[in-house]
Amino acid sequence: MEKWKLVTPDDIKIALKDIGVQKGQAVMAHTSLSSLGYVCGGAQSVIEALIGSVGDEGTVMMPTQSWKNLDPAAGVYWQEPEEWWPVIREYIPAYDKRITPTNTMGAVSEMFRQWPGTLRSDHPARSVAAWGRYAQYLTEKHDLSDIFGDSSPIGRLYELDGYVLLVGVGYDKNTSLHLADVRAEYPGKHTVMESSVIQLDGQRTWKSYETLAVDGEDFRAIGEAFEQTGKVRHVSLGNGILSMMSQRELVDFAVEWIGENRK
């Protein structure tokens, strides 16, 4: 087992500079704090380094999904007995973007959603949070049915010609690939009905909506293929690796890959 390495805030800042994070950029970051080793200051140090690197004229966005806010029949409560599902269905709190915690998004995203000045989108299961110049543009009007499409935060980042930064995580965590799902044509493409609990006129309400069915099972394969283009930068940080890429280049590549390879 590899020895745990010590990572300081200065180490993070240097790594971000070396990989190409600059003032004014719009960057969507996906992070695994534990993959880096022992980070002095933890999630706070990572967020401060990111915000400091892009500056007030830049933007940082992260996934803050609360995907447990789906009907248990969708399979998101696989660890709980099915006989519990009616009770879970009755008592899941309605989505509140100020309070609702993230699900498996990591310590950095969980802290980031509460960061001063950060805005969070209204999607009850697939929200993102953003800080900086384009935070409002990226997070506003996140339509229930357009989770990852052109009008979603992911689609808006594409319009801004933003970047994707993977901090100790792989392409299976690269949410921008879902925009390629929306744009690509492939034989198995279909929609599903999902339901989440929201506040509607002050009442806790189950709301159903139609959205594209996606699973992301081939995201690692897409990432491996995209890496071969030479358009991804890599820098080591502690025990982990940082990867940075143009979101447009990634999505455009993935649309083509999916059209040729997905069933």
> HSE of 157 in the Cβ direction (CA atoms, 13 Å)?
39
- Does residue 105 lie in a domain region? yes
Tell me the three state secondary structure of residue 108.
helix
Per-residue pLDDT at 160 exceeds 80: yes
Examine residue 82 and state whether it is found in any structural domain, yes or no.
Answer: yes
pTM of the model: 0.96
Distance CA 155, CA 168 (A): 24
In a domain, 1, yes or no: no
Number of domains in the chain: 1
Residues in Cβ contact with 151 at an 8 Å cutoff, skipping those fewer than 6 apart: 141, 143
* 140 within domain boundaries: yes
Kindly state whether residue 57 falls inside one of the protein's structural domains: yes
Q: CB neighbours (10 Å) of residue 121?
A: 21
> Do 217 and 179 touch, CB atoms closer than 8 A?
no
Whole-angstrom Cα distance, residue 129 to residue 136?
10
| Contact partners, residue 30, CB within 8 Å, separation at least 6 | 62, 63, 164, 165, 166, 167, 169, 173, 174, 175
What DSSP element (H or E) covers 39?
strand 38-39
Bridge partners, residue 35, by sequence: none
CA distance 43 to 32: 9
- What percent of the chain shows pLDDT beyond 90? 98
pLDDT the model gives residue 189: 97
Dihedral sign for Cα atoms in the order 126, 43, 48, 250: negative
- pLDDT given for residue 214 in this prediction: 85
Mean pLDDT of 163-191: 97
Q: Do residues 27 and 162 lie in contact, with contact meaning Cβ atoms separated by under 8 Å?
A: yes
Six-digit token string for 37: 């080793």
Structural domain includes residue 153: yes
Task: Give domain status of residue 220, yes or no.
Answer: yes
CA distance 30 to 167: 6
Task: Answer yes or no: is pLDDT of 248 > 80.
Answer: yes
Residue 197 lies in a domain: yes
How much is the pLDDT for 215? Answer: 83
- What's the pLDDT tens digit per position in 200-236? 999 999 999 999 998 899 999 999 999 999 999 999 9
Domain that holds residue 81: 6-261
Taking a C-beta distance cutoff of 8 angstroms, is the pair 176, 164 a contact?
yes
Q: Strands of 150-261 (E only): list them.
A: 163-167, 191-200, 203-212, 233-237, 240-246
CB-based contacts of 13, cutoff 8 Å, min separation 6 = 49, 52, 53
Give the tens place of pLDDT for each residue, 50-103.
999 999 999 999 999 999 999 999 999 999 999 999 999 999 999 999 999 999
Residue with tokens 């390629």: 180
Distance of alpha carbon 132 from alpha carbon 62, whole angstroms:
12
